[in-house]
A and B are shown apart, each in its own frame.
Chain A
Amino acid sequence: MINEARIGIARDLQLIRRPEARVGVIPSPVGRLLVAESNRGLATIHFLTMDGAERTLEKLRKKFDLIENEASTRRVGAEIDRLFKGDMSVLEHRVDLSVVESEFQRRALISLRTVPPGAVITYQGLAAAVGHPNSQRAIGTTMATNPVPIFVPCHRVIKSDGSIGNYGGGVANKLKLLRAEGFDVGRDLRLPPRAVMGHRKTRIFCRPECSAAKRADSSRTVYFADAQSAAHAGLRACKLCRPT
């Protein structure tokens, strides 16, 4: 009788089943992390130095059937280790944004992934990039609730005044991640004095005071720590202001 009933349950569950996600805790250069990964990609990274891990698990469980899995989380740990050794390709790891309810937030997080390592973007620039140039605060909330930090690089978002701003995993970790990507932040936690502005469409970089830079559409601009980083990212120097 149980066998018959099992068949009925399996049939019905197939229709309402949540996708599976593997979950575990790993150490990393930015502290212990709670990590969850589905078949579509990384679904969550939570810094265990910060509060809220139980709430993160609750949110995950509403969308996924969670299973503790060592192999899966070890792999993610190894990738973060490689990132800190200079291998930026690990950041192309797919992400699963199922826990993000809002379409705006999903678009902002996806757009953020196009900001290259070694560059930063302002909250305003990211807001403009998703078609809402006056919605910096909504971008701020989106960054604060980013379910997959590091791989959705909210550490690359700074304030328009050049200050580094906050970070859900702690400002110290924001600095660690930026430095690991080759973006050196000064002790004053601001854009370094030799920072240049890069245009993502023209692929030209300028000094921030250049007239071309001042006219540029903020939705297309990012900042590099210096000219070398911009050149390394494949941009060429502006012929007007000749940044070096």
Chain B
Amino acid sequence: MVFDDFVGRAGLTSAMATFNLKLPPPFDEAVKSMEREIMRFLMRSTGDREDAKDLFQETWLRAYRAYPTLKSEDGLRPWVFRIASNLCRNRVRDRMRRARVITTASANGAALPESASSPIGGGPDGVLHLKRSIARLPGKQGQALMMRKFAGLEYAEIGAALNCSVESARANVSQALRKLKADE
């Protein structure tokens, strides 16, 4: 039968590829292939176990909802890191905003809630300062820096995640580092 010849020649699993029809891997496989990397990245970015676990779950849920928009396996890694780094930055910014509210309240003589005394992210002051500085960086610079320093992504992957060129990714990281240095 013609069908068997076709399978023998092309191999059915590559038949879609011969028509340029690509699918990313099944979602559960994508999670398995990247879960350790993403957890490490989140731990380094937040410095807090509970935060990292929470953001880990949120990252994968968002990834699942948006999975139909991912074209192929090639873009998977930068795409997931982009989601994770966005969530990290938003988390740090939210905490900074709340810290400002608490600081204002204390200056006005209001009683501070217990949680106000616990540092954001639970790390030493230096780490806290670094996270705040990173959160203050403009969008792509902050994300590029986090992906490079906390996840070890190559510039090409950072470019894919941020939808910019490799040169732009490199420039964003070095500009971010310069600004952090100026902040010290």
* Residue positions of A touching B, CB distance < 8 A: 1-2, 4-6, 8-9, 12-13, 16, 23-27, 32, 34, 48, 53-54, 57-58, 61-62, 65-68, 70, 73-74, 77-78, 81
Task: Let me know if B16 and A27 touch, CB within 8 A.
Answer: no
Task: Let me know if B19 and A25 touch, CB within 8 A.
Answer: yes
Shortest Cβ distance from B50 into chain A, in angstroms? Answer: 10
CB contacts (< 8 Å) of A13 on chain B: these are: 60-61, 64
The DSSP consensus for interface residues of chain B is helix
Task: Let me know if A25 and B61 touch, CB within 8 A.
Answer: no
B81 within 8 A of A: no
B15 within 8 A of A: yes
A-contact 0/1 string along B1-31, CB 8 Å cutoff:
1110011000011011011110100110001
- In the assembled complex, 19 residue pairs joining A and B whose CB atoms fall closer than 8 Å, in A order, are A2-B56, A4-B53, A5-B56, A9-B56, A9-B61, A24-B12, A27-B3, A34-B16, A34-B21, A53-B19, A54-B20, A57-B21, A61-B67, A61-B68, A67-B26, A68-B23, A74-B12, A77-B3, A81-B3
Shortest Cβ distance from A201 into chain B, in angstroms? Answer: 41
Q: How far is the CA of A16 from the CA of B52 in the complex (A)?
A: 22
A-contact 0/1 string along B101-140, CB 8 Å cutoff:
0000000000000000000000000000000000000000
CB contacts (< 8 Å) of B64 on chain A: these are: 13, 16
A-contact 0/1 string along B87-100, CB 8 Å cutoff:
00000000000000
B39 within 8 A of A: yes
Of A2, A5, A6, A26, most B-chain CB atoms within 10 Å: A5
Task: Let me know if A24 and B6 touch, CB within 8 A.
Answer: no
Instruction: Among A2, A8, A48, point to the contact of B35 (Cβ < 8 A).
Output: A2
With A24-B12, A34-B21, A61-B67 given, can you name 20 additional A-B contacts, CB distance below 8 Å? Answer: A1-B53, A2-B56, A5-B35, A5-B39, A6-B31, A6-B35, A13-B64, A16-B65, A23-B16, A32-B19, A34-B19, A54-B21, A57-B21, A58-B68, A62-B68, A68-B23, A70-B12, A70-B13, A78-B3, A81-B1
* Residue positions of B touching A, CB distance < 8 A: 1-3, 6-7, 12-13, 15-16, 18-21, 23, 26-27, 31, 35-36, 39, 49, 52-53, 56-57, 60-61, 64-65, 67-68
CB contacts (< 8 Å) of B18 on chain A: these are: 25
Task: Let me know if B57 and A5 touch, CB within 8 A.
Answer: yes
Q: How far is the CA of A8 from the CA of B20 in the complex (A)?
A: 36
CB contacts (< 8 Å) of A81 on chain B: these are: 1, 3
Q: How far is the CA of A66 from the CA of B28 in the complex (A)?
A: 12
Q: How far is the CA of A117 from the CA of B32 in the complex (A)?
A: 47
CB contacts (< 8 Å) of A25 on chain B: these are: 12, 15-16, 18-19, 21
CB contacts (< 8 Å) of B16 on chain A: these are: 23-25, 34, 68
Of B16, B18, B65, most A-chain CB atoms within 10 Å: B16
Q: How far is the CA of A227 from the CA of B1 in the complex (A)?
A: 35
| With A9-B57, A16-B64, A34-B21: A68-B35 Cβ-Cβ less than 8 Å | no
Q: How far is the CA of A23 from the CA of B49 in the complex (A)?
A: 39
CB contacts (< 8 Å) of B36 on chain A: these are: 2
- Looking across the interface, which residue of chain A has its beta carbon closest to that of B32? A6
CB contacts (< 8 Å) of A62 on chain B: these are: 68
Q: How far is the CA of A8 from the CA of B16 in the complex (A)?
A: 34
- Looking across the interface, which residue of chain A has its beta carbon closest to that of B29? A67
Q: How far is the CA of A25 from the CA of B2 in the complex (A)?
A: 14
Task: Let me know if B21 and A53 touch, CB within 8 A.
Answer: yes
Of A6, A9, A78, most B-chain CB atoms within 10 Å: A9
CB contacts (< 8 Å) of A68 on chain B: these are: 13, 16, 23
- Nearest first, the 4 closest Cβ-Cβ pairs linking A and B are A25-B15, A61-B68, A70-B12, A27-B6
CB contacts (< 8 Å) of B65 on chain A: these are: 16
Shortest Cβ distance from A194 into chain B, in angstroms? Answer: 34
